Each structure stands twice: as structure tokens, then as C-alpha cells.
Amino acid sequence: MNQPVYMDYNATAPVFPAAAAAMGEALTIVGNPSSVHGYGRAARKAMEDARERLAAAIGADARGIVFTSGATEANNLALQGAGRPRILVSAIEHDSVRGVSSAAELVPVHRSGEVDLAALERMLGADHRPALVSLMLANNETGVVQPVADAIEIARRYGALVHCDAVQALGRLPLNVTALGADLVSLSAHKIGGPAGVGALYVKDAVALKPLLAGGGQERGRRAGTENLPGIVGFAAAAEIAAVQQPAEAARLGALRDDLEARIRAARPDATMFGIESPRLANTSCVALPGMASERQVIALDLAGIAVSAGAACSSGKVRASAVLGAMGVPPALAASAIRVSLGWQSKAEDIDRFMAAWAGLLNPQLAA
């Protein structure tokens, strides 16, 4: 019997063995990092060592790293904690950004999937209240890389802060948050081979941040609550591995992704690939098959042992219309036939073969194995 094939890395990635081992060791540490006795100091040292290692992996000052329960909390902390009366977010942001404020202003994107920088400038110029702009580094559904550096340059002219959700970029693009220049950067462990339930927000030293959670002085007063030491240690281990492997993995996964897309086009010339005219993450392909619902494709592929997604993973576990493709101007009927294939560190050439065999069977049941 064939082993299942996992092609949903943008939802979550398998944990690196080294990260799991590091977490196992951390679980033997007894103390609370806030305790002043020897046990507590040992726990504090392990946590601060992990903070330094994560900071080094992303080119940051360790003092700017705030550990959180994940990127959703990091995004909320950034957008709410910055205290800006205006919040502008791109129309393709993750729900944990788009849903933070009902008053958030949506910055449109081009059909290519890249944010409309001219529209951003017009919007900032139309209202001079202090603002925060939130723009992801790479989109979770299409993989399109956003012009964050250009957006930061525009925002600076209007005195706006910039938050960047870099969750999908970490380990998939070269990431140096100091060079990037954003004031706030959100990260997540479980997208890169670390554990679920831990993330971080990088905060530039000049940014004042009001905590969302009160009742403790942890994380320099920016996030109350006992830190998840095993998760933090696993996060740091995974970030180090992902950063070292990133250039080679980008080349390897890009070749697999390009092979997949070429074979899909050969099988179905009417298939639509989204974001291909823009810079993309090497591991991500978003493809629509006209006339075949996303849900049908996901379920059929799952029955064949192939795990893919219909856009972003959501808490309901249901397939729903893609706000990202809608923002890109994709007709609803076409968007409703899109699936996302995302590759990662365990992906191999045989996975592409397995996908194409299952997909061919979906197109023509007589060809199914």
C-alpha cells in the first residue's frame, strides 16, 4: 500500500526531528523562567538562549523578540498593541490580520496578486491620522511575494508604522528583519518544522506596544503569561535549520513545483495558475480546474492519499470561498475550483508522480489506479 503524500506545508509542516529532540530535552527542565531560584534560572537561560538563536536566524536584536502562542496572537498584538487610530491592511491578508479590526481599511491588490502601491499611497495621503500598514511578505494561498520594502518606503513618508506577517516567508525566503525595515514582524513555528502553539512578534526598539494580555511582566511587559519553554526551544531549533537549508530548499522545491505545473498544463491546458506572473514562493502552486469544485478535488485527492488544500486552512475545517482570489479579481466560479499545493522538507519527486496519477484519475475515472 502506498504511503500518504503530504502537500499542505503552508497549513503546517511536519516537525523536524532535531526540533522534536530539542523539545524533549526542554521538557526535562523543571523551573518556571520567572522564578528566581536555581531551577527558574536554568529555565530562564534555556529560554533566553532560544531567543538569541531565533533572533540570529532572522537577523534581529533578541530584545525585540516577543514570544506568543502563535502568529494569530502576534498579528493581534501588533495591530491592536500599536495603538494607531488607522489600520490599513492588504486585501489578501490572513484572517488573523483582516479580522482584527472592523474599521480596518482594505488596500486593493492587482490581478497579479501584488498589493497596489499607488492605492496605498493615495489612502495614506487622504487621511493624516497616525496609521499602521499591515502587508504580508508572502501570501499563504498563491505564494506571491509582496513588495514590502516599497510599501515601507511609502509608509515612512506619511509617518505610518508597518507590520509584516512573515509567517509563510520564514524558511522559504531569505529573511533579515533588520534589513527588511518593518516595525513589527509576525512569525510562526509550525509552518517551518517547529511545534504548533508557539510564535513570535519582532518589535523594533522604537515601537511602543500595549500588551493584549495583562497580569504579568513576562516578555519585557509586552505579553503576560508563563512562556511555553519547550515550544520556544523547538521554535528556535526549527528556525536555525530552516534558515540554513533555505537556499538549497528553494531551488529543490522550485524544480518540483515547476514540474508539477508543467505536467498539469500538459494534462489540462485550460487549468489556471494564479500569481505566476509575480515573484512566488518556490514551494507553492495555486491552480484552478474550471468546472470542478475545489471541495470535490480535495476530497478525491484525499481518498487517493494526497493531502492538498483549497486555500487557507481555517478553524471550521470546511472549504470556503477564497477572499484572496476574490481580491485578485478572479471570477467566483473559477475561484471555486482552485486548490493549493504546497511542498516542504519531506517532499520528493515521487510525490509529484503520485499527485498527477491521482489527478488524472479525478479528470477521468477510467484512468484511476
Q: Which active-site residues does the annotation give?
A: 314
Distance CA 245, CA 9 (A): 16
User: Who's near 201: CB < 8 A, 6+ residues apart?
Assistant: 65, 66, 68, 74, 77, 78, 184, 185, 186, 187
Is the CB of residue 164 less than 8 Å from the CB of residue 137?
A: yes
The amino acid at 230:
P
The amino acid at 198:
V
Is the CB of residue 65 less than 8 Å from the CB of residue 51?
A: yes
Distance CA 47, CA 56 (A): 14
Distance CA 119, CA 107 (A): 7
C-alpha cell of residue 287:
491552480
Distance CA 238, CA 171 (A): 9
User: Nearest to residue 144, comparing CAs of 257, 18, 303, 282?
Assistant: 282
C-alpha cell of residue 77:
498584538
Provide the β-strand partners of residue 309. 340
Is the CB of residue 339 less than 8 Å from the CB of residue 308?
A: yes
User: Who's near 302: CB < 8 A, 6+ residues apart?
Assistant: none
Residue 179 burial (CB < 10 Å; 0-12/13-18/19+)? exposed
3-state secondary structure 324-362: HHHHCCCCHHHHCCEEEEECCCCCCHHHHHHHHHHHHHH
C-alpha cell of residue 56:
540570529
